[in-house]
Structure 1
Amino acid sequence: MKIIAQPTLRRPRSLIAAATQVAAALKGQGSDITSLTQREGHLDQLRRMGDAAYSPLAHVTALARLLAARRCLL
């Protein structure tokens, strides 16, 4: 089994709280952690830059899927 490094997520509490609630509903829906991490990282970069293309809904969804996928590894 390949060990995947799990980077620490430093995100606003409200973002983590919303994503955690959604992730609880996504039980058993594992996915490609690498692509999810890249997608969430891109969205976080847009958020930090204040880019008009940033979508809070897309960010919460991506973060929730990432949390659910990580939970499947445990």
Structure 2
Amino acid sequence: MNYYYFSLNIPYQVYLTHYNGAANNIVVMTDNGLRLQLPATRFRPFVTQLGLKGRFRLTTDQNSKFVKLEVL
């Protein structure tokens, strides 16, 4: 398994453009400086009235396939 750590702070109104389909992906910068592109739909469970804020861990398998995304 591979683990990638990153923080996000996206206001609710900005995230709505992703949710409404104007943008399909969110690009994040990991703590190690790696840029990752993830489908915006993966973040839906973590959106609050304040938006998408917090520290996250992305887990992928040995083939870099998505396993899970969790808030820390």
Query: So what's the TM-score if we normalise by structure 2?
Result: 0.32
Higher relative contact order (CA 8 A, sep 6+): 1
Could you tell me the TM-score, scaled by structure 1's length?
0.31
Instruction: Give the structure with the larger strand fraction.
Output: 2
